[in-house]
Structure 1
Amino acid sequence: MHSYISTKKLFFLFSLSLIITSCKKDDDTPQEVIQEPTLLQWYVDSDTDGFGNPDSALGIQSTTKPNGYVSDNTDCDDSDIYINPSAEEDDYDGIDSNCDGKNEVVYQTFSKTYGTNEFETGSFIFDTSDGGFLTAGSQYSPTVNNFIGSYSFWVVKFDIEGNLEWEKSYGGPNDDSISVMKETSDGGYIMGGISTSEEGNVYINYGNFDWWVVKIDSSGNIQWVKTIGGSKRDELGDIIETEAGNYLLAGSSWSSDEDFIREGINSSGWFVMLENDGNVLWKSHFDDGYVTSTVELSDGTFFAVGYKFTASGTMTDIILYRLEATGTFLWTKIINTGFYQARLNSILLGPDNSILLGGNLLSAIQEQDYWLLNLTQEGDINWSKEFNGGRFDNISSITLANDKNSYFITGNETNANSSKNEAWLANYNLNGDLLWKNSFGGSKTDIVNDCIELESGGFLISGYTLSVDGDIIDKNEGENNSQDLWVLKLKPNGKL
C-alpha cells in the first residue's frame, strides 16, 4: 500500500512556509519598527505670555523646548505681555491687543475735576453745538463767578477738551439747591430746585423751601425766574418741556397757602404748568405723597411717579399718576413695595412706549439695592428687577442709547466693609439684562449723577469726587477734603 499527501495539503504547507519565512530576518530574529524623531521650530517668547515672536526663531529645529522659547509664532508684540492673540481687545485705544491685524481707532478720554477747597457738584451734563459741553450743579465757593453768599445753582461751560470757558452761579444769600435741569427747544436751558432766599436772583420767599425755576439762554444769561411756594416746605422734583412749548413742573408741598392752597395736613403731590415765559397756566394736586419724575406720552397726556408712606409709617409705596394735558387726573395707582424705603427718581419713555423707572429699594436691615421697573402706560408692571452691587446701591440717571436698542444707566454703590462710594456706568438691554458695567473713581467718595451718549461715540458723565487718586489724578493733595465737580469722557465701550 502506498502512502501519499494530497495536492491540497502540499499547497497549505508551502504557503505556511512562505509566511514564516517573511516574518524573520536572515538570522531568524523579529524586525524592530524604528520611528524618526519629530523636530520642532521654536520661537523667542521675550514677554513670557506663551506666544512667540515670528521673526525670532531658533536657528535649528529641535525635539526639546529651549528656555525662553515656545512653538507658537503668533505674537505681534513680543515686548508686551498684554498684547497677544488671547488678549482682551479695546477697539478705541489705538493698539492691536489681540493681534487680529484690524486698524484701531484712537479715542481721546479724560477724567477732570474743577473746583476750589470748598464745595462743588455736577448733577447734569449736556453736549453743546460747538462740540463742547455744559454741566450744572450746586456750589459753595467764594471764588466762583457771581457768588452771592451761600449754596447756589452753578452752571459751567467747557470746550471739547474739557477746558473751562465760563461759569455762572444763580441764587440768593441763603441756601438754593438745584434738583433738575433740561435743555429747551430754543437752545437754552430750564433749571429748578428749592430756594430759601429772597434776594439776589430770587425775588420772593414764602417761607421755608420754595420751588424756584430759572430759564437761561445758551450763554447762561437769565431770561426769567419763577418762585412758587407756601409757608411750609415745598420741593420741586422735575421739569419737562411739553410738545406745546410749555413747561410742566412736578413736585410736592407741605404748604396749604399762597400758591399751594388746599385742604389736608400731609405732603401733597403738585403739578404746575407754566407758559414759555413763566406765567402759570394751571395747577393740579393729589392730597398725598411726593412726586419725583414725569414724562409726556405721545397722546399729550403725562405719566408721573412718586411715593408715599404707609399708614404705619414703616413702609413706602410707589404712586403712579396719569394726567390729561389740562391737569385733570385720569387715574392714580399704588404699588405696594413692602420695603422700608422705595424711590424711583429716573423716568424714561422706552422705544416700545413702555415706561422705564430707576431708583432704589431699602430694606429694614439697611441694605439698599438699585431697582429697575418697567411699566405699561396704564401703570401695569411688565417686569421688575433688583440688583445688589454693594451694601448701598442707587441709580442716578437713565439714558436711551442712540440706536434705541439698550439703556445706559449711571449709579453708585457703597461696599459693605467701607464708606467708600464707587461710581459706575452700565449698559442694559431693553429687558433689563446687564450687558456690561464699568466702575470709576479713587479711594474716597466718588459719585456720578448724569450721562449723555455722544453722537460721535463715547460718553460724557458728571458728578463729584473727594478722591485724589485712582482715576482722579489732577486734584492736589491740598484739596483732599474738598468736594469737586468731576467730569469724565469715556470711550464708546464705556471705558476710561
Structure 2
Amino acid sequence: MVLTALLASCNLEPIDGNDENGIDAGDIRAKIIGGSGQDEATKIIQTSDGGFLITGSSTSNDGDFQGMGIGQRHIHLTKIAANGSIEWLRTFGGSGTDIAHDVIEDRAGNFVIAGESASNDGNFSGQNRGGTDLFLIKVRPNGDLLWARKYGGSGNDIAHAVIQAPGNGYFVTGSTESNDLTFFTKDNTSRDAFVIFTDQNGAQNWTRTVGGSLTDEAFGIAITLRNGVVIAGSHQSQNGNFTGLNPGIAGIFTLELDVNAQFISLVSYAGNGVDVGRSIRQTTDGGFILAGSSDSSSGIFSDNSAGSQNAFLMKLSSNYATEWVKTVGGSSNDAAFNVIQTENNHFILTGESRSGDNDFNNLNQGENDAFLAKTDQTGSLLWVNSYGGSGSESARSLVQTSLNDIAVTGWTESSDGLFENSPGGRNFFFFLTDIDGNLRSVH
C-alpha cells in the first residue's frame, strides 16, 4: 500500500491502470528478494546499461540465495535488468559477519563495494586485522571478483561510503577505533571518522582521520567541484579536530579534504540533541544537500516542534554555510538515509517513519514505513509518500533513473500491502515510482 500526503499544489494523478496506484492487475508493484533469513539492502545505483545494482547483506541460504549462503552474514550484490528481472546475484565474504554499506560503478564499468567484515577466510582469507575491518571489493560488470582488500587495525573499523576519485582510485569513509596498522597515526582508541584514498587496485595512497576523545563517525561522501572530497557524519567530541565546536549531545559535521589529504573546511551544525548527517551530495549551484536525522529542538533545528527524532534536509552553500534546513516528521521517530537532487532542482529524500501525524498525518500503515518526501529548491515540502504493510519497513537508498523515475531499495518485514508478495521474515525490496512518488509496475 502507498499513502500520500499533499503539501503543495502538484499533479499526483495516478498512472494509467486498474488500481488506486495506477498498477494494472497482475503487475508486480514491488520486487521482493531474499530467503528465510535476514536479508537487507543498503544501496541502489542505476548501471550504465540501464539496469540497477543493489548491495547489502543476507543470512539466507535458500530462496533467491539458494546454496549461496556464506558464514554468519554475507555480502550480496544483486543485478536487476531495466525490465525489473534479476540478471544475477553474487555473494561474498567468509565464515564471519560481513556487511556491505555502499556500491558504485566506476568509469571502467566495474563495481566497487564498501563495508565491514569480521571474516579471516573466504574472500578475505588471511586479511583480518582484529575485530571488524573495513573492506573494498571490486568486481567485473558480470559480478566476477577482481579483488577484495581489507583495511584497519586491532579495533573495529567500518566503511560506510565509497566514491571514485576525479582521476583513478577511490575515496572511502567511515569510522575507526584502531590506532595501529592502517590507522597508525591515530593517537587514541575512541571512534574517529576517516578518509582513505586508494589507487584503482585498492592500494593505499593516504589515510586521514578526524576526531577527538569521544565518538565521531562519517556516513556520507561526495566529490566537490574543487576535485576534493567531502564527508558528512556526526561528532560528539569538542576537542582534537573539533576543538571549539559545540555539538550538543551529537552534532553534524562536514569535512572537505583536497587530493593530498589537507583540510580545506571543517564545519559543525548542531542543536541541543542528537543530530546525524547520513547523505551528502554536491548540488548544481555549487553547494551541497545533506540529509539525516535530528531530535534537536533548538539552534538550526528550532522548527522541530514535535520534539521527536525527525528526518531533515539541509542546504549548504559552496563554503558550507547553512542556507536552509527542513525537518520532516511527526511525534514518533523518523529518519532519512539518502537524498537526491532532481533535474528540476527539487530534492527527494528517503528513509523510515514511525509517525502518523504532522508531515505523516494518516500515513502510518503499521510499524515503521518506508517513505519518500519531496521539497522544492528552497526547502518547501511538496509531498510525502508512505510505502509499506503492517510490519516494519526501511527505505535506505534511491536513485533517479534515466527515464526520470525513482528507484528505491531497503528492507521489509511485511507480507501485505505493497509487499504482499513477500514470503515473510526480513527481505529486501526494489520498487519504482514516478517523479511524484506514484508507483510504477516492476515487471
Question: TM above 0.5, one fold?
Answer: yes
Higher-Rg member (1/2) = 1
Distance 1:440 1:105 in 2: 15
* Residues 457 and 379 of structure 1, relative CA distance in 2, 3 Å threshold: closer
Q: Is the 8 A contact 1:109 1:489 kept in 2?
A: no
Alignment partner of 1:157 is 2:79: yes
Distance 1:128 1:259 in 2: 32
Match in the other structure for 2:406 = 459
Q: Is the 8 A contact 1:346 1:358 kept in 2?
A: yes
Q: Is the 8 A contact 2:211 2:237 kept in 1?
A: no
Alignment partner of 1:235 is 2:158: yes
Q: Is the 8 A contact 2:271 2:296 kept in 1?
A: no
Match in the other structure for 2:277 = 344
* Residues 308 and 492 of structure 1, relative CA distance in 2, 3 Å threshold: closer
**Structure 1 segment 245-284 matched on structure 2, within 5 A:** 245-261=168-184, 262-284=186-208
Q: CA deviation at 1:366?
A: 7.7
Distance 1:441 1:105 in 2: 16
**2:58 paired residue among 114, 139, 146:** 139
- Structure 2 residues not aligned, in runs of 5+: 1-10, 239-245, 298-305, 358-363
Q: Structure 1 residues 435-444 or 139-148, which shifts more?
A: 139-148
Match in the other structure for 1:493 = 436
Identity between Structure 1 and Structure 2 (%): 23
Match in the other structure for 1:405 = 345
Distance 1:237 1:165 in 2: 26
Distance 1:160 1:238 in 2: 25
Distance 1:387 1:105 in 2: 28
Higher relative contact order (CA 8 A, sep 6+): 2
**Structure 1 segment 308-327 matched on structure 2, within 5 A:** 308-310=235-237, 315-327=249-261
Distance 1:436 1:229 in 2: 43
Q: Structure 1 residues 365-374 or 253-262, which shifts more?
A: 365-374
The one-letter amino acid paired with 2:137 is V
Q: Is the 8 A contact 2:330 2:356 kept in 1?
A: no
Distance 2:124 2:149 in 1: 8
Match in the other structure for 1:440 = 387
Q: Is the 8 A contact 2:133 2:152 kept in 1?
A: yes
Q: CA deviation at 1:248?
A: 0.7
Match in the other structure for 1:122 = 41
Q: CA deviation at 1:313?
A: 9.7
User: What is the aligned length?
Assistant: 396
Alignment partner of 1:295 is 2:222: yes
* Residues 328 and 128 of structure 1, relative CA distance in 2, 3 Å threshold: closer
Distance 1:323 1:454 in 2: 30
**1:215 paired residue among 123, 138, 141:** 138
Distance 1:252 1:105 in 2: 43
Alignment partner of 1:388 is 2:388: no
SS at structure 2 position matched to 1:471: helix
Q: CA deviation at 1:416?
A: 6.6
Q: CA deviation at 1:415?
A: 3.0
Instruction: State TM-score, norm by structure 1.
Output: 0.74
Alignment partner of 1:180 is 2:120: no
The one-letter amino acid paired with 2:200 is N
Cα deviation code 1:365-398 (max 9, x no counterpart):
9821111111123222111222223501111211
The one-letter amino acid paired with 2:29 is F
**1:166 paired residue among 62, 85, 88:** 88
* Residues 439 and 316 of structure 1, relative CA distance in 2, 3 Å threshold: same
**Structure 1 segment 32-111 matched on structure 2, within 5 A:** 90=13, 92-93=15-16, 110-111=29-30
* Residues 125 and 168 of structure 1, relative CA distance in 2, 3 Å threshold: same
SS at structure 2 position matched to 1:430: coil
Q: CA deviation at 1:126?
A: 2.6
Match in the other structure for 2:355 = 415
Distance 2:309 2:111 in 1: 33
Instruction: State TM-score, norm by structure 2.
Output: 0.83
Match in the other structure for 1:196 = 118
Q: CA deviation at 1:404?
A: 4.1
SS at structure 1 position matched to 2:182: helix
Match in the other structure for 2:269 = 335
